[in-house]
Amino acid sequence: MVINTNVSALSGARLLSESTSRLAKSLARLSSGSKIVSPEDDAAGLAVSMRFDAQISRTQAARNNISNAVSFSQTQDGFMSKVAKALDRMSELAILSLDVTKSDNDRVLYNNEFSTLSSYITNVATKDFNGVSLFSASALNVTIDSEGALFSMAGVNLGAATYSGLGSATVATSGGASSALTSVKNAITQLASDRATAGASLTRLQFTQEQLSVLRDNLAAANSRIKDVDVAEESTDYARSNILVQSGTAMLAQANSVPQSVLRLIQ
């Protein structure tokens, strides 16, 4: 039996320190919800998780961009649906002006409404969405993924000659009404094509938006497996470490008291 070096106490202190360290790590994981509380816990996992976090953020940003583009297209189509109604009415007015029982005075009354509707279409062509023209011939490039890929959303130009030419049309005379009817029919045909183009872009954007939602969910799930703590498993480790700390503390106290028995040998 020796006094200067208490091997049992040294071993007990080392084991108690290790148990205390494991207990502190379990507490940190349970309180943070992450099993990677410092780089040494999983250096490679931390690097992968950081890339996942960045990609998830970029994917969400792209999804937000698409949502705004969808709102843009829906606003655009909303205006065009009203223009379609105006054109329908203008074609009706042109046909009414061709009635042989109507005088030119009657046609002037029809022309008042016809001109007003034509002005409405001209006004719609100038509308914008957050400062971006709704009806420009230029295509808009929409970011559709986390890597910055672009989708070219075709432009719809309500300022095209097919529409702007209605401003000079008149149904005040039977000859003018016949010519105006042709112009309105051409505008209706063009509008139908423009709405189909906008509708195709809207469908594409909505599919891409759903795709990004699925991607984001799967990225989050993969990231969770790397960094999120399993509470049930960690709670078990915490309970084990807590017991070891308490028992280690008690045993260290016993080991420190062993040298006192030497006094009995020299009494």
Assess contact for 212 and 62: CB atoms under 8 A.
yes
Distance separating alpha carbons of residues 5 and 9, to the nearest angstrom: 9
Residue 267's pLDDT band (cuts 50, 70, 90) = low
pLDDT tens, 191-230?
999 999 999 999 999 999 999 999 999 999 999 988 888 7
**How far apart, in whole angstroms, are the C-alpha atoms of residue 236 and residue 219?**
28
Is it the case that residue 100 has pLDDT exceeding 80? yes
Q: When comparing pLDDT for 266 and 82, which is higher?
A: 82
**Alpha-carbon gap, residue 171 to 116, rounded angstroms:** 12
Q: Is 225 helix (H, G, I), strand (E, B) or coil?
A: helix
pLDDT tier for residue 11 given thresholds of 50, 70 and 90: confident
The pLDDT assigned to 17 comes to 85
**pTM of this structure:** 0.78
Q: Are residues 126 and 16 in the same domain?
A: no
Shared domain for 92 and 223, answered yes or no, is yes
Instruction: Read off the pLDDT band of 2 (50, 70, 90).
Output: low
The verdict on residue 1 lying in a domain is no
- Residue 232 CA neighbour count, 13 Å, CB half: 0
Residue 79 lies in a domain: yes
Considering the domain architecture, whether residues 99 and 141 belong to the same structural domain is answered as: yes
pLDDT value for 64: 94
Query: What's the confidence (pLDDT) of residue 236?
Result: 87
What mean pLDDT, rounded, does the chain reach? Answer: 89
Work out the average pLDDT over 144-152.
Answer: 91
Write the CATH number for 144: 1.20.1330.10
74 and 144 assigned to the same domain? yes
Section 132-161 average pLDDT: 92
Mean pLDDT of 67-94: 95
Residue 266 has pLDDT above 80, yes or no: no
Helices 43-97/104-124 angle, 10° precision: 170
Q: How many domains does the chain have?
A: 2
C-alpha closest to that of 222 among 214, 211, 233:
214
Beta bridge partners of 133: 128
